Amino acid sequence: MQLPGPTNIPDAVLRAIAEPTIDHRGEQFASILRSVLRDLRPLFGTVLPVAVFPGSGTGGWEAALVNTLSPGDRVLLLETGFFAAGWAEHARRLGLEVEVVETGWRGPADPGALRAALVADTGAEIKAVLVVHNETSTGTTSDIGALRAAIDEVGHEALLLVDAVSSLGSMPVRHDEWRADVTITASQKGLMLPPGLALLAVSDRARAAGESACLPRAYWDWVPMLDAAETGSTPYTPATNLIVGLRTALDRLAGEGLPAVFARHRRLADAVRAAAMHWELELVCADPAAMSDSVTAFLLPPDVPDPGVRRALLERFGVTFGGGLGRLAGRCLRVGHLGDIDEMMIVGALTALELGLPEFMPIRPGGVDAAIAALGGAKCC
Protein backbone atom coordinates (compact mmCIF):
# COMPACT_ATOMS: atom_id res chain seq x y z
CA MET A 1 0.00 0.00 0.00
CA GLN A 2 1.40 3.30 -1.04
CA LEU A 3 -1.50 5.46 -0.06
CA PRO A 4 -1.25 8.89 1.47
CA GLY A 5 -2.93 7.17 4.40
CA PRO A 6 -3.77 4.93 6.03
CA THR A 7 -0.05 4.27 6.09
CA ASN A 8 1.86 1.08 6.50
CA ILE A 9 1.66 0.00 10.12
CA PRO A 10 4.73 -1.51 11.78
CA ASP A 11 4.30 -5.13 12.82
CA ALA A 12 5.05 -4.25 16.42
CA VAL A 13 2.18 -1.74 16.40
CA LEU A 14 -0.22 -4.27 14.89
CA ARG A 15 0.78 -6.76 17.54
CA ALA A 16 0.23 -4.20 20.29
CA ILE A 17 -3.26 -3.48 18.96
CA ALA A 18 -4.04 -7.17 19.03
CA GLU A 19 -3.24 -7.58 22.71
CA PRO A 20 -6.31 -8.49 24.75
CA THR A 21 -8.31 -5.38 25.63
CA ILE A 22 -7.53 -4.13 29.11
CA ASP A 23 -9.85 -2.47 31.62
CA HIS A 24 -10.10 1.19 30.69
CA ARG A 25 -10.93 2.04 34.29
CA GLY A 26 -7.90 0.21 35.71
CA GLU A 27 -4.54 1.54 36.80
CA GLN A 28 -2.64 -0.14 33.97
CA PHE A 29 -4.60 1.72 31.33
CA ALA A 30 -4.46 5.00 33.27
CA SER A 31 -0.71 4.77 33.29
CA ILE A 32 -0.50 4.09 29.56
CA LEU A 33 -2.93 6.89 28.76
CA ARG A 34 -1.02 9.43 30.83
CA SER A 35 2.26 8.48 29.21
CA VAL A 36 0.78 8.68 25.72
CA LEU A 37 -0.74 12.09 26.38
CA ARG A 38 2.63 13.29 27.61
CA ASP A 39 4.67 11.89 24.73
CA LEU A 40 2.35 13.23 22.05
CA ARG A 41 3.18 16.80 22.99
CA PRO A 42 6.56 17.04 21.22
CA LEU A 43 4.93 15.83 18.02
CA PHE A 44 2.48 18.71 18.20
CA GLY A 45 5.24 21.09 19.22
CA THR A 46 3.40 22.00 22.38
CA VAL A 47 3.94 21.86 26.12
CA LEU A 48 0.20 21.97 26.72
CA PRO A 49 -2.22 19.06 27.18
CA VAL A 50 -3.44 17.10 24.17
CA ALA A 51 -6.89 15.51 23.78
CA VAL A 52 -7.49 12.12 22.18
CA PHE A 53 -11.00 11.18 21.09
CA PRO A 54 -12.33 7.90 19.70
CA GLY A 55 -13.25 8.97 16.17
CA SER A 56 -11.75 9.94 12.85
CA GLY A 57 -9.89 13.08 11.83
CA THR A 58 -13.23 14.52 10.78
CA GLY A 59 -14.19 14.30 14.43
CA GLY A 60 -11.11 16.43 15.14
CA TRP A 61 -12.51 19.12 12.82
CA GLU A 62 -15.79 18.97 14.69
CA ALA A 63 -14.14 19.10 18.10
CA ALA A 64 -12.10 22.15 17.09
CA LEU A 65 -15.23 23.98 15.96
CA VAL A 66 -17.77 23.08 18.64
CA ASN A 67 -15.36 23.83 21.46
CA THR A 68 -14.53 27.34 20.29
CA LEU A 69 -17.43 28.75 18.29
CA SER A 70 -21.11 29.65 18.52
CA PRO A 71 -23.93 29.16 16.02
CA GLY A 72 -23.72 31.68 13.21
CA ASP A 73 -20.10 32.58 13.84
CA ARG A 74 -18.12 33.44 10.76
CA VAL A 75 -14.95 31.54 9.94
CA LEU A 76 -12.41 32.04 7.17
CA LEU A 77 -11.31 28.94 5.28
CA LEU A 78 -8.21 28.89 3.10
CA GLU A 79 -9.19 26.48 0.39
CA THR A 80 -6.13 24.59 -0.77
CA GLY A 81 -7.80 21.39 -1.87
CA PHE A 82 -10.39 18.71 -1.28
CA PHE A 83 -9.88 18.34 2.44
CA ALA A 84 -9.93 22.09 3.06
CA ALA A 85 -13.17 22.27 1.08
CA GLY A 86 -14.54 19.41 3.15
CA TRP A 87 -13.77 21.23 6.37
CA ALA A 88 -15.63 24.28 5.04
CA GLU A 89 -18.66 22.14 4.32
CA HIS A 90 -18.40 20.54 7.74
CA ALA A 91 -18.40 23.98 9.37
CA ARG A 92 -21.44 25.03 7.35
CA ARG A 93 -23.35 21.99 8.45
CA LEU A 94 -22.67 22.89 12.06
CA GLY A 95 -24.35 26.25 11.44
CA LEU A 96 -21.27 28.40 10.95
CA GLU A 97 -20.91 30.99 8.24
CA VAL A 98 -17.91 30.14 6.10
CA GLU A 99 -15.96 32.63 4.04
CA VAL A 100 -13.70 30.87 1.60
CA VAL A 101 -10.40 32.24 0.34
CA GLU A 102 -9.87 30.46 -2.95
CA THR A 103 -6.23 29.71 -3.52
CA GLY A 104 -6.69 27.22 -6.32
CA TRP A 105 -5.82 23.61 -5.71
CA ARG A 106 -2.29 23.80 -7.04
CA GLY A 107 -0.48 25.68 -4.35
CA PRO A 108 -0.31 26.50 -0.66
CA ALA A 109 -2.46 28.91 1.30
CA ASP A 110 -1.50 32.47 0.46
CA PRO A 111 -0.56 34.73 3.40
CA GLY A 112 -1.29 37.78 1.27
CA ALA A 113 -4.82 36.64 0.51
CA LEU A 114 -5.35 35.86 4.18
CA ARG A 115 -4.14 39.33 5.16
CA ALA A 116 -6.45 40.92 2.63
CA ALA A 117 -9.44 38.98 3.87
CA LEU A 118 -8.73 39.92 7.46
CA VAL A 119 -8.18 43.56 6.59
CA ALA A 120 -11.55 43.52 4.87
CA ASP A 121 -13.16 42.14 8.01
CA THR A 122 -13.52 45.55 9.60
CA GLY A 123 -16.24 44.34 11.94
CA ALA A 124 -14.03 41.61 13.36
CA GLU A 125 -16.68 39.10 12.49
CA ILE A 126 -14.24 36.38 11.58
CA LYS A 127 -13.84 34.28 14.69
CA ALA A 128 -11.47 31.70 13.31
CA VAL A 129 -9.13 31.01 10.42
CA LEU A 130 -9.17 27.40 9.24
CA VAL A 131 -6.22 26.02 7.32
CA VAL A 132 -4.96 22.62 6.30
CA HIS A 133 -1.23 22.36 7.00
CA ASN A 134 -0.61 19.60 4.50
CA GLU A 135 -3.28 19.15 1.86
CA THR A 136 -3.37 15.41 1.20
CA SER A 137 -5.37 15.78 -1.99
CA THR A 138 -2.73 17.91 -3.75
CA GLY A 139 0.52 17.17 -1.99
CA THR A 140 0.99 20.74 -0.84
CA THR A 141 2.25 22.08 2.46
CA SER A 142 1.20 25.54 3.59
CA ASP A 143 3.51 27.71 5.65
CA ILE A 144 1.61 28.09 8.90
CA GLY A 145 4.25 30.41 10.35
CA ALA A 146 3.75 32.81 7.47
CA LEU A 147 -0.01 32.67 7.90
CA ARG A 148 0.37 33.37 11.61
CA ALA A 149 2.55 36.36 10.73
CA ALA A 150 -0.12 37.64 8.35
CA ILE A 151 -2.74 37.47 11.11
CA ASP A 152 -0.42 39.22 13.55
CA GLU A 153 0.45 41.87 11.03
CA VAL A 154 -3.12 43.05 10.78
CA GLY A 155 -3.72 42.48 14.48
CA HIS A 156 -6.75 40.32 13.91
CA GLU A 157 -8.19 38.38 16.87
CA ALA A 158 -9.38 35.31 14.98
CA LEU A 159 -8.40 31.93 16.32
CA LEU A 160 -6.06 29.87 14.14
CA LEU A 161 -7.29 26.31 13.61
CA VAL A 162 -4.87 23.96 11.84
CA ASP A 163 -5.53 20.56 10.30
CA ALA A 164 -2.24 18.66 10.62
CA VAL A 165 -3.70 15.27 9.82
CA SER A 166 -1.18 14.30 7.16
CA SER A 167 1.78 16.25 8.48
CA LEU A 168 2.05 15.44 12.17
CA GLY A 169 4.62 12.74 12.79
CA SER A 170 6.10 13.20 9.32
CA MET A 171 7.15 16.85 9.31
CA PRO A 172 7.58 19.49 11.99
CA VAL A 173 4.39 20.81 13.59
CA ARG A 174 4.93 23.78 15.88
CA HIS A 175 1.66 24.39 17.69
CA ASP A 176 3.16 26.65 20.34
CA GLU A 177 5.62 28.47 18.10
CA TRP A 178 2.92 29.13 15.50
CA ARG A 179 0.54 30.17 18.26
CA ALA A 180 -1.99 27.89 16.65
CA ASP A 181 -5.15 27.66 18.72
CA VAL A 182 -6.15 24.17 17.74
CA THR A 183 -4.00 21.65 15.89
CA ILE A 184 -5.76 18.52 14.74
CA THR A 185 -4.47 15.15 13.68
CA ALA A 186 -5.61 11.56 13.31
CA SER A 187 -4.11 8.17 14.03
CA GLN A 188 -3.73 6.71 10.54
CA LYS A 189 -0.96 8.82 9.05
CA GLY A 190 2.34 9.79 10.65
CA LEU A 191 1.31 8.07 13.88
CA MET A 192 1.31 4.75 12.00
CA LEU A 193 -1.89 3.35 13.48
CA PRO A 194 -5.17 2.19 11.97
CA PRO A 195 -7.84 4.91 11.76
CA GLY A 196 -9.95 5.53 14.87
CA LEU A 197 -8.41 8.36 16.89
CA ALA A 198 -8.80 12.14 16.58
CA LEU A 199 -6.11 14.09 18.43
CA LEU A 200 -5.95 17.81 19.23
CA ALA A 201 -3.59 20.29 20.80
CA VAL A 202 -5.36 23.30 22.28
CA SER A 203 -4.00 26.73 23.19
CA ASP A 204 -4.99 28.49 26.38
CA ARG A 205 -6.76 31.05 24.26
CA ALA A 206 -8.84 28.33 22.58
CA ARG A 207 -9.76 26.88 25.95
CA ALA A 208 -10.83 30.31 27.09
CA ALA A 209 -12.89 30.76 23.93
CA GLY A 210 -14.60 27.51 24.79
CA GLU A 211 -16.03 28.98 27.93
CA SER A 212 -18.26 31.35 26.01
CA ALA A 213 -18.69 29.30 22.83
CA CYS A 214 -22.17 27.87 22.65
CA LEU A 215 -22.35 25.37 19.84
CA PRO A 216 -23.89 22.32 21.53
CA ARG A 217 -21.21 19.93 22.61
CA ALA A 218 -21.07 16.80 24.63
CA TYR A 219 -19.16 13.95 22.94
CA TRP A 220 -16.55 16.33 21.58
CA ASP A 221 -16.21 18.45 24.72
CA TRP A 222 -12.48 18.67 25.17
CA VAL A 223 -12.37 19.71 28.79
CA PRO A 224 -12.50 16.24 30.36
CA MET A 225 -10.35 14.85 27.53
CA LEU A 226 -7.63 17.41 28.22
CA ASP A 227 -7.91 16.62 31.92
CA ALA A 228 -7.08 13.01 31.15
CA ALA A 229 -3.41 14.00 31.14
CA GLU A 230 -3.84 14.27 34.89
CA THR A 231 -6.66 11.89 35.68
CA GLY A 232 -5.65 9.06 33.39
CA SER A 233 -9.32 8.51 32.67
CA THR A 234 -11.73 9.60 29.96
CA PRO A 235 -15.38 10.66 30.24
CA TYR A 236 -16.47 7.63 28.22
CA THR A 237 -14.97 4.41 26.91
CA PRO A 238 -11.77 5.17 24.98
CA ALA A 239 -10.52 3.22 21.95
CA THR A 240 -8.39 1.16 24.30
CA ASN A 241 -6.48 -0.99 21.87
CA LEU A 242 -5.51 1.95 19.66
CA ILE A 243 -4.20 3.81 22.70
CA VAL A 244 -2.09 0.78 23.56
CA GLY A 245 -0.88 0.68 19.95
CA LEU A 246 -0.11 4.40 20.10
CA ARG A 247 2.22 3.70 23.02
CA THR A 248 4.25 1.42 20.77
CA ALA A 249 4.14 3.84 17.82
CA LEU A 250 5.40 6.71 19.99
CA ASP A 251 8.21 4.52 21.25
CA ARG A 252 9.28 3.85 17.68
CA LEU A 253 9.24 7.53 16.76
CA ALA A 254 11.23 8.37 19.87
CA GLY A 255 13.66 5.55 19.11
CA GLU A 256 14.41 6.98 15.69
CA GLY A 257 14.32 10.56 16.96
CA LEU A 258 12.01 13.22 15.53
CA PRO A 259 14.74 15.06 13.58
CA ALA A 260 15.69 11.78 11.91
CA VAL A 261 12.05 10.99 11.20
CA PHE A 262 11.56 14.35 9.52
CA ALA A 263 14.82 14.07 7.60
CA ARG A 264 13.80 10.65 6.35
CA HIS A 265 10.49 11.99 5.06
CA ARG A 266 12.28 14.86 3.32
CA ARG A 267 14.78 12.49 1.72
CA LEU A 268 12.10 10.13 0.44
CA ALA A 269 10.00 13.02 -0.87
CA ASP A 270 13.04 14.38 -2.71
CA ALA A 271 13.51 11.00 -4.34
CA VAL A 272 9.90 10.86 -5.49
CA ARG A 273 10.16 14.36 -6.88
CA ALA A 274 13.38 13.49 -8.69
CA ALA A 275 11.65 10.55 -10.36
CA ALA A 276 8.69 12.72 -11.34
CA MET A 277 10.94 15.35 -12.83
CA HIS A 278 12.85 12.71 -14.75
CA TRP A 279 9.67 11.10 -16.01
CA GLU A 280 8.52 14.59 -17.04
CA LEU A 281 5.35 14.22 -15.04
CA GLU A 282 3.81 17.42 -13.73
CA LEU A 283 2.92 17.61 -10.06
CA VAL A 284 -0.39 18.99 -8.85
CA CYS A 285 1.53 21.31 -6.56
CA ALA A 286 2.99 23.91 -8.88
CA ASP A 287 5.04 25.64 -6.19
CA PRO A 288 8.35 23.84 -5.63
CA ALA A 289 8.73 25.41 -2.20
CA ALA A 290 5.40 23.99 -1.07
CA MET A 291 5.72 20.40 -2.25
CA SER A 292 4.79 18.06 0.54
CA ASP A 293 7.19 15.74 2.29
CA SER A 294 4.45 13.23 3.04
CA VAL A 295 2.48 12.92 -0.17
CA THR A 296 3.09 13.64 -3.84
CA ALA A 297 0.32 14.02 -6.43
CA PHE A 298 1.11 13.58 -10.13
CA LEU A 299 -1.17 15.04 -12.78
CA LEU A 300 -2.33 12.48 -15.32
CA PRO A 301 -2.58 13.42 -19.01
CA PRO A 302 -6.15 14.38 -19.93
CA ASP A 303 -6.64 11.29 -22.04
CA VAL A 304 -5.47 8.79 -19.47
CA PRO A 305 -8.28 6.84 -17.91
CA ASP A 306 -8.21 6.67 -14.14
CA PRO A 307 -9.12 4.58 -12.15
CA GLY A 308 -7.79 2.41 -14.96
CA VAL A 309 -4.20 3.32 -14.14
CA ARG A 310 -4.56 2.62 -10.46
CA ARG A 311 -6.42 -0.60 -11.09
CA ALA A 312 -3.66 -1.80 -13.40
CA LEU A 313 -0.99 -0.94 -10.84
CA LEU A 314 -2.94 -2.76 -8.15
CA GLU A 315 -3.47 -5.86 -10.24
CA ARG A 316 0.02 -6.07 -11.62
CA PHE A 317 2.04 -5.04 -8.56
CA GLY A 318 -0.37 -5.25 -5.65
CA VAL A 319 0.28 -1.58 -4.86
CA THR A 320 -2.57 0.77 -4.03
CA PHE A 321 -2.00 4.38 -5.03
CA GLY A 322 -4.35 7.22 -4.14
CA GLY A 323 -6.58 8.73 -6.77
CA GLY A 324 -7.80 12.26 -7.39
CA LEU A 325 -10.45 13.68 -5.09
CA GLY A 326 -13.16 16.24 -5.74
CA ARG A 327 -12.40 18.41 -8.72
CA LEU A 328 -9.20 16.40 -9.23
CA ALA A 329 -11.10 13.13 -9.48
CA GLY A 330 -9.61 10.99 -12.23
CA ARG A 331 -6.97 13.58 -12.90
CA CYS A 332 -4.12 12.67 -10.63
CA LEU A 333 -2.29 9.85 -8.94
CA ARG A 334 -1.16 10.26 -5.36
CA VAL A 335 1.81 8.57 -3.74
CA GLY A 336 2.10 8.55 0.02
CA HIS A 337 5.57 8.57 1.50
CA LEU A 338 4.80 8.90 5.15
CA GLY A 339 4.87 6.73 8.21
CA ASP A 340 6.77 3.49 8.45
CA ILE A 341 8.57 3.64 5.14
CA ASP A 342 12.17 3.55 3.99
CA GLU A 343 14.35 4.03 0.92
CA MET A 344 13.76 0.58 -0.38
CA MET A 345 10.01 0.74 -0.08
CA ILE A 346 9.84 4.07 -1.88
CA VAL A 347 12.08 2.84 -4.67
CA GLY A 348 9.87 -0.24 -4.88
CA ALA A 349 6.81 1.96 -5.31
CA LEU A 350 8.52 4.07 -7.94
CA THR A 351 9.48 0.87 -9.71
CA ALA A 352 5.82 -0.08 -9.97
CA LEU A 353 5.20 3.30 -11.61
CA GLU A 354 8.16 3.02 -13.96
CA LEU A 355 7.04 -0.43 -15.01
CA GLY A 356 3.32 0.24 -15.06
CA LEU A 357 2.83 3.77 -16.35
CA PRO A 358 4.21 3.26 -19.88
CA GLU A 359 1.13 1.20 -20.70
CA PHE A 360 -0.87 4.39 -20.28
CA MET A 361 1.40 7.33 -21.03
CA PRO A 362 4.89 8.04 -22.27
CA ILE A 363 7.45 8.55 -19.53
CA ARG A 364 11.15 9.05 -19.86
CA PRO A 365 12.73 5.82 -18.51
CA GLY A 366 15.20 6.24 -15.67
CA GLY A 367 13.04 7.84 -13.00
CA VAL A 368 13.94 5.22 -10.46
CA ASP A 369 17.56 5.81 -11.26
CA ALA A 370 17.07 9.53 -10.70
CA ALA A 371 15.40 8.77 -7.38
CA ILE A 372 18.32 6.62 -6.34
CA ALA A 373 20.73 9.36 -7.30
CA ALA A 374 18.68 11.75 -5.21
CA LEU A 375 18.91 9.36 -2.29
CA GLY A 376 22.58 10.08 -2.36
CA GLY A 377 24.07 6.93 -3.80
CA ALA A 378 25.96 6.13 -6.94
CA LYS A 379 28.47 8.82 -6.10
CA CYS A 380 31.46 6.95 -7.40
CA CYS A 381 32.82 6.35 -10.87
- 338-357 residues in contact with a copy of itself (CB under 8 A) are 342-345, 347-349, 351-352, 354-356
Cα 179 from Cα 174, distance rounded (Å): 8
For the chain, how are helix, strand and coil distributed in percent, rounded to 5? Answer: 45, 15, 40
Site string for a copy of itself, 236-275 (x = CB under 8 A): xxxxxxx---------------------------------
56 lies in the site for a copy of itself, by CB under 8 A: yes
Distance, C-alpha 293 to centroid of its chain? 11
Site string for a copy of itself, 34-53 (x = CB under 8 A): -------------------x
DSSP per-residue codes, 240-299: HHHHHHHHHHHHHHHHH-HHHHHHHHHHHHHHHHHHHHHHTPPBS---GGGB-SSEEEEE
Residue 6 beta carbon to a copy of itself: minimum distance, rounded to whole angstroms? 4
Nearer to a copy of itself (CB atom), residue 151 or residue 225: 225
Closest to 228 in 3D by CA, of 370, 24, 80, 61: 24
Site string for a copy of itself, 298-317 (x = CB under 8 A): ----------------x--x
- 58-97 residues in contact with a copy of itself (CB under 8 A) are 58-59, 61-62, 66, 71, 90, 93-95
By CB under 8 A, the count of residues binding a copy of itself is 88
Residue 138 beta carbon to a copy of itself: minimum distance, rounded to whole angstroms? 17
CA atoms within a 13 Å half-sphere pointing along the CA-CB vector of 30:
9
Neighbours of 124 (CB within 10 A): 11
Nearer to a copy of itself (CB atom), residue 46 or residue 241: 241
Residue 224 phi, psi (nearest 5) = -70, -25
Tell which one of 121, 195, 252, 312 touches a copy of itself (CB under 8 A).
Answer: 195
- 159-188 residues in contact with a copy of itself (CB under 8 A) are 186, 188
CB 7 within 8 A of CB 341: yes
